[in-house]
Amino acid sequence: MITITDTPTEAMTAVTDGWYNQLAASLNLSIRHFQLLQPPAVPTSDQALWDSFNVVPPVTLKYNRWLYQQPTFFSQYAAVVNGLSFPESDFVEDIGADTYVQWQAYLKTITPPPPANTLPTVWFQWAMVNAPEVANIGRSDLSTQLLIEGAQALLQPYEGPNAKPADFLPTFSDLKNTLRASSGASFSFDSTHDDPDVSNSWVPGDDPNYFGIWTGSSAAFHVSRKFALSKITVSVQFDHVATVAVTPGQWYNSFLLHQAWASPCTPPWIDSADWQAYFGATGSFTHAVGSLFAADGITLTLTSDADFTPAEQVIIKGLAAVGDWPVYCPISSSVFSNSIATGPGSLVIRFKSAPGNPVILGLNVFDIRSYVGAG
């Protein structure tokens, strides 16, 4: 995770914050969770889709993927799981050495030996008669052992030189089917009546914007500031929109991640300092993606009354192909198209995406406490 210091870009930041608020209000997106992707993701396969949300998202309303080098969700989860252990010695310490000897002797009398996943129950039934004072803690210890070992076993096929890719739901086909069955939406934006106040969002205060009028441009560029200070209108039509839950594949164990978050001690951590490294205020695993917001069939018309010089008009026309405000989708002959008309005090950009091409416009982000179900 990186920290970037904002430059004096109040105008571009304000108009983008206003767009963020309008988008959220028009499409019933929660400002307690929603994060814009800049530029949006336009997947064409399962892997490309999963790459767009297999991430520990930065704490910002606008996730500029050119600037933030974020760790993947899978890498952080795997590191946490592999940093956990519940040694047999801790079980012995909790139940007492004499009780442990008796327990081991009892296990040898059971033929065939009980499956590992039944040991917590077998222990509890035995201990309630023979060592009731440690029955509960012993069951808890054995359950934790089982949880850690099981989660580590699930991870093994996804690690090493021949590792399977970390899979998720939805698949690309799932997403296309969901969008196809979803309704559309339309709304408009007017910068003279927008609300740039994001103080009540999940990232309160002045959340910085790092793109200007086109993808890769600085928000501090003169042409970007001139654009942001003009009267901007945007009319948007989405043929289909959907918010789709993101679910890790079979390699993931939600119970263990909750246990790891809820128990910042040794055990279950091999090194108790690791809890802070992952889940602390400056840790590397403080947020996760709970769902994505996607659109299909986008038609957008943008107008600005900025009085761009002829030279600035040439620059805008030449660079808008890399994607322009507010969606920043690079133009592709097969997926996206736009037309730009300029004149004195007039800029009109018409953008369109071909149907059947999902565009991931944003993510719904949860702090790790909420993600693991702790409130």
Question: 8-37, pLDDT tens digit by residue?
Answer: 448 999 999 999 999 999 999 999 999 999
Other CB atoms within 10 Å distance of the CB of residue 5: 5
Measured CA to CA, the distance from residue 343 to residue 304 in angstroms comes to 10
C-beta separation of 242 from 185 below 8 A: no
The position carrying tokens 């081991």 is 104
Closest CA to 216 of 208, 207, 224: 224
Query: Is-cis flag, bond preceding 170, omega within 30?
Result: yes
**How many residues does this entry show for the chain?**
375
The amino acid at residue 219 is A
Report the distance separating Cα 101 and Cα 129, nearest Å. Answer: 15
Q: What is the pLDDT of residues 300-320, one digit of tens each?
A: 999 999 999 999 999 999 998
Q: How far apart are CA 216 and CA 360, in angstroms?
A: 19
What residue ranges do the domains of the chain occupy? 10-72+166-255+278-371, 85-160
Tokens of 155: 């991870």
> From CA 269, how far away is CA 272, in angstroms rounded?
5
* Tokens read off for 316: 């805008």
Can you give the pLDDT at residue 7?
Answer: 44
Question: Directed axis angle between helix 254-262 and helix 73-82, to 10°?
Answer: 70
Please answer whether residues 221 and 306 qualify as being in contact, where contact means their C-beta atoms are separated by less than 8 angstroms.
no
Percent of the chain clearing pLDDT 70 (strictly above): 97
Nearest Cα residue to 215 out of 312, 326, 74? 326
Report the pLDDT value the prediction gives residue 124, as an integer from 0 to 100: 98
* Pairing, β 346-353 against β 62-64: unpaired
pLDDT in tens, 238-254: 999 999 999 999 999 99
In 3D space, the residue among 86, 87, 90, 78 whose CA is nearest the CA of residue 151 turns out to be: 78
Q: CA dist 306 to 311, 348, 357, Å?
A: 14, 11, 32
What span, in angstroms and rounded, lies between the C-alpha atoms of 143 and 120?
A: 6
How do residues 106-164 score in pLDDT, each as one tens digit? 999 999 999 999 999 999 999 999 999 999 999 999 999 999 999 999 999 999 999 99
Q: Rounded distance, CA 308 to CA 136, Å?
A: 74
Peptide bond into 326 cis (omega under 30): yes
Residue 172 has pLDDT above 60, yes or no: yes
